[in-house]
Amino acid sequence: MLNILSALFGPHRAVSIYAFLKTWGLPLAGSVGLVVVATALLVLNDDGTHEHEAFLTVPVLSATPINGDVDNGVIASVRLPDGSATSITSTEAPISRTVGTSACIEKRVYVESGDTRYRFKLPRYCEAS
């Protein structure tokens, strides 16, 4: 590398550039890389807008309290109306306490990607619809 720098910048300046790159090159390249990745995530990220589609009452296949306590949340597998199963997590204690043999979920569809996501909701939302 020193030979290439000598050919481009001359021998005296090449040594200074080489010493700078050896001491500060990796941290500088890492910092620039971190800024590029953070900027790309910010610019290319989906804004997260979604549309509410429905409130559904679904059967719960299994429910596991987080850290052994329902007040910390629950991870539950539920059977969706189309017959498939999915896992949903809630860390809100009032909602986690309502998950039993059945649960109320909200079906959301994200605008840009078209992905469908589900969230636990309080049973009163399912009773109202």
Question: Which tens digits make up the pLDDT trace of 43-61?
Answer: 888 777 889 999 999 999 9
Kindly tell me the burial class for residue 40, based on how many C-beta atoms sit within 10 Å of its own C-beta (0-12, 13-18, 19 or more): exposed
**CATH class of the structural domain 50-128:** mainly beta
Q: Whole-model pTM? A: 0.65
Q: How confident is the model at residue 75 (pLDDT cuts 50, 70, 90)?
A: very high
Question: Which tens digits make up the pLDDT trace of 25-36?
Answer: 989 999 999 999
Q: What's the angle, vertex CA 82, arms to CA 76 and CA 86, rounded to 5?
A: 20
